[in-house]
Amino acid sequence: MKRILILTCTIALVYPIALTGCNIGAEQKAELENLKAALKKTESERDDLKARIGIVTQTRDNLQEQFTELAGSRDQLKKEVEELTASRDTLQKQVQELMLSHAAADAKAQSAQGKFENLKTQLQIETQKVRQLESQLKQIQSAIAELQNKINL
């Protein structure tokens, strides 16, 4: 009888534990299914994020190429601006030299104009003297002619 009592007690103790174990097994199974679903969702999200990272990386690489091209263009434009600035400075110096040369030429032209006016005045005076001398020459020639006529008569 003692054995039956031990067996009954053992069964009485083991049965609730076994039932609890079955419930735990079902709960664990449900939790495992939930974890598998969460894992699939997480893997899907990971794959989506990897795809997005790929797109962002490609976009970054494209932008880096554009940046490099723009930096090259900027450097080229800076070089052109420096060349244009140097050309502008050279042209400004040439303009200043031409302005000085123009001023000097203008001064020479005014001086020449003054000399021209003086020469013109002298020419008029000399022309007047020549006319007077021509008039005197005509009078002398006329007087010589009269004297020759008188001598020839």
**pLDDT tens per residue, range 18-66:** 555 555 577 888 889 998 998 899 999 999 999 999 999 999 999 999 9
Residue type, 30: A
- Rounded to whole angstroms, how far apart are CA atoms 5 and 24? 28
pLDDT tens for each residue of 66-116: 999 999 999 999 999 999 999 999 999 999 999 999 999 999 999 999 999
Return d(Cα 74, Cα 81) in angstroms, integer. 10
Burial state string for 110-138 with b = 16 or more CB within 10 A and e = fewer than 16:
eeeeeeeeeeeeeeeeeeeeeeeeeeeee
